[in-house]
């Protein structure tokens, strides 16, 4: 069975349907939580962070070099893209950042998928900002506010 990916309209842009990958492009190695490989004296760990940006987020930790690469999971320069169509959630996103922070010490370099390189404290601050935004939005939802009604109160 072959299934196309049919993305939803995002910010007024309807993205085209994407055909399934061909057999040579399919993954050859699978893992549930993490996978460790050794290359040129470096221990490299791939860690799955479920339900964050999507359901397929992976961070790569270079243990000896003390570097973590987050891929598209993290943007250090704004609010994240949480892909609801592929299993992303704000709770999973915050848990993913918690995991990244737990991998860091004071000297760890964290390379986001987008934005400036940072470290543990930068990601702690980013997480606090996102949690505060989530809490504010949840409160507005409880008050049954809509985006348009809330914007009217701000303008």
Q: How many domains does the chain have?
A: 1
Burial of residue 90, with CB atoms counted within 10 A of its CB: 0-12 exposed, 13-18 middle, 19 or more buried = middle
- Using one digit for the tens of pLDDT, what is the confidence trace for 121-151? 999 999 999 999 999 999 988 999 887 776 7
Q: Determine the pLDDT at residue 2.
A: 56
pLDDT on residue 43: 98
Contacting residues for 146 by C-beta, under 8 A, at least 6 apart:
none
CA atoms within 13 A on the CB side of 39: 7
Range of the domain at 93: 28-154
pLDDT beneath 50, residues of the chain: 1
The tens digit of pLDDT for each residue in 104-116 reads 999 999 999 888 9
pTM of the model: 0.81
Determine, yes or no, domain membership for 122. Answer: yes
* Beta strands, E only, the chain: 9-10, 13-14, 34-39, 42-49, 57-62, 67-75, 109-114
Separation of CA 138 from chain center = 20
**Looking at the domain assignment, is residue 15 inside a domain?**
no
- Our separate counts of H helices and E strands in the chain read 3, 7
Return the CATH number at 115. 3.60.15.10
What pLDDT score does 41 carry?
95
């Amino acid at each position: 069975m072959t299934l196309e990916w049919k993305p939803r309209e995002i910010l007024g842009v309807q993205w085209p349907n994407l055909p399934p990958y061909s057999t040579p492009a399919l993954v050859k190695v699978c893992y549930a939580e993490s996978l460790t490989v050794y290359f040129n004296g470096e221990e490299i760990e791939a860690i799955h962070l479920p339900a964050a940006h999507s359901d397929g987020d992976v961070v790569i930790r270079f243990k000896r070099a003390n570097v973590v690469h987050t891929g598209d999971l993290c943007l250090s320069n704004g609010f994240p893209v949480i892909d609801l169509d592929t299993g992303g959630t704000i709770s999973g996103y915050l848990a993913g950042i918690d995991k990244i922070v737990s991998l860091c010490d004071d000297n760890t370099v964290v390379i986001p998928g987008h934005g400036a390189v940072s470290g543990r404290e930068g990601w702690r601050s980013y997480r606090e900002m996102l949690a505060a935004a989530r809490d504010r939005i949840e409160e507005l939802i409880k008050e049954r506010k809509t985006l348009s009604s809330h914007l009217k109160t701000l303008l």
